[in-house]
Structure 1
């Protein structure tokens, strides 16, 4: 069977990992400029290629790298440091049992770093904040969101003894969205914000000396803040955030495999829900958070396995996010 133009372009690009001039593609394939341009736009929108403008020409690169899951039997999963994800334990087990994949897990300190790793194909799957994934999708079209996860566990907290009126939170994350919603609701009386990158090195020293009046954090950091006399203002879920981190995949994984992974993920969440305590020990060792805190997190976080676009649209609208258009962001979801 003869290859389609799309397949021919992808095959050609696989021979040029550093990229090839767009003008060389139509010459190599003996296809018109307009047809190549049309197909490349479609491939770029699907996240399979990236075009970089150099002078008055485009260099085209494939996003399907040799190190991706398509070429091996190892799936690279990225997560953000948190007590949120003990359900990845049955997920990892099922990926091996049903698809024969070993899973390598990398723990990142923040949402931006973890989601950037997915965009750059340094990981194949990522559990990172939904809001971060949506903006990464808008900028790159190189990921698709496969399933939900859990919500809750995060809150706006206040220290009445702090003389500094600033807000401290993580950037471009669920916490950042929660901060914005709290300001819009009049629950935080300042809009001056400082961001931390690493919760262990950047956040904890500031909390010890109560340098910030408001802090927006997730579990188990909420436990640490309680120890230092920070009080709850509002939980992020009460502000309408019904998704924290969701499962996203690089588009370097083909759609059929993404569908299988999504199905396995839903089964894993269901298995986890039957006995969460069964999966605590391994996850505790992975992230370096005590088993006692992981057990507490089971009560802090609530499962939200399926994607509800209505809930997501409501939260984004409430935050008054208008750029880009919300409906265009919702195209990031693979299975609606």
Structure 2
């Protein structure tokens, strides 16, 4: 393995911690001059960030893990969902760095800590963390609907924790008179693996289109906002023009534009994503979000929304 690849691999493993430049030399048994030359090249490519932490001492991160905003760089976090076709399409047009998360809680934690600049994730999670941390703003609703229950033959429901899925599943169970426990999973893959042992799972597209014996939530409960688009306020101070450019691309994009790039990011087939898009309603404005604000109603929730 080449020295550059070894350095990148070490930094990938270090994630948000980063590595002292001197430790890179020691851990990889490379000369200081070799490490310095390689890092200089990677800095020019914006692949790494090197920050001075004391005189002649530097810490190095992969750009996607640097815990502060970076001028002219936008890092976007998404879950594995068809809903984000327009997010991915717009992000690609402004050179975004994408990160794929297992669940909304992990994504929103990185957003409030500044490791992410923008996140597309469940509205309820963003709203709660926005009120609690007061350092993110929600700018768009991504889509409505696009999820439901797939039924099996076991006991209890599988669901993602503190998410739109949990909130809507509880309403669904009440509407249908179903009395089952809920078991939480860290990822949709973990939930599907346990599917045969459960009564059902609450899951989103395109996973829902991969399963049989399903019932869409909106067919029982009507329309509901699933996910929203939020940005870290420190990022906005540094990159307001870049974010405005991203929003412009987002507002003018169509779901079909994002099928191919989303397939490349997530590993889903283009046909599966295209098939699942009919489950969503992408024309969502602030009026639709207001219904959920009224229902959620905690803290100063109105202050975290910035639709313009």
Partner of 2:304: 332
Other structure's SS at 1:86 match:
helix
Per-residue deviation at 1:220?
A: 1.5
Partner of 1:99: none
Partner of 1:251: 233
Partner of 1:82: 81
Per-residue deviation at 1:132?
A: 0.6
Per-residue deviation at 1:289?
A: 0.7
In structure 1, C-alpha distance between the alignment counterparts of 2:183 and 2:98, rounded to whole Å:
29
Answer with 214-223 or 253-262: which moved more: 253-262
In structure 1, C-alpha distance between the alignment counterparts of 2:108 and 2:135, rounded to whole Å:
11
Other structure's SS at 1:189 match:
coil
**Mapping of residues 149-298 of structure 1, within 5 Å:** 149-159=142-152, 162-164=153-155, 166-185=156-175, 187-200=176-189, 202-207=190-195, 209=196, 211-226=197-212, 230-232=213-215, 234-236=216-218, 238-254=220-236, 257-258=239-240, 261-262=243-244, 264-272=246-254, 276=256, 278-298=257-277
TM-score normalised over the length of structure 1: 0.65
Per-residue deviation at 1:330?
A: 2.2
CA RMSD, 1 decimal: 2.6
In structure 1, C-alpha distance between the alignment counterparts of 2:229 and 2:146, rounded to whole Å:
18
Per-residue deviation at 1:237?
A: 7.0
Structure 1: gaps (5+ residues): 1-64, 96-101
Are the aligned partners of 1:75 and 1:103 in contact in 2 as well (CA < 8 Å)?
Answer: yes
Partner of 1:98: none
Are the aligned partners of 2:89 and 2:250 in contact in 1 as well (CA < 8 Å)?
Answer: yes
Structure 2: gaps (5+ residues): 1-64
In structure 1, C-alpha distance between the alignment counterparts of 2:192 and 2:132, rounded to whole Å:
32
How many residues align? The count is: 244
Per-residue deviation at 1:236?
A: 4.1
Are the aligned partners of 2:72 and 2:242 in contact in 1 as well (CA < 8 Å)?
Answer: no
Per-residue deviation at 1:238?
A: 4.9
**Mapping of residues 299-314 of structure 1, within 5 Å:** 299-308=278-287, 311-314=288-291
Per-residue deviation at 1:334?
A: 1.6
Partner of 2:133: 140
| Greater share of residues in helix | 2
Q: Once the two structures are superposed, what CA deviation does each residue of 1:62-100 show, in whole Å capped at 9, x if it has no partner?
A: xxx98533x4222111001112212134312443xxxxx
In structure 1, C-alpha distance between the alignment counterparts of 2:205 and 2:185, rounded to whole Å:
16
Evaluate the alpha carbon distance shift between residue 188 and residue 84 of structure 1 in structure 2; reply closer, same or farther with a 3 A threshold: farther
Per-residue deviation at 1:256?
A: 8.8
Are the aligned partners of 1:150 and 1:303 in contact in 2 as well (CA < 8 Å)?
Answer: yes
Other structure's SS at 1:72 match:
coil
Other structure's SS at 2:82 match:
coil
Are the aligned partners of 2:191 and 2:201 in contact in 1 as well (CA < 8 Å)?
Answer: no
Per-residue deviation at 1:294?
A: 1.1
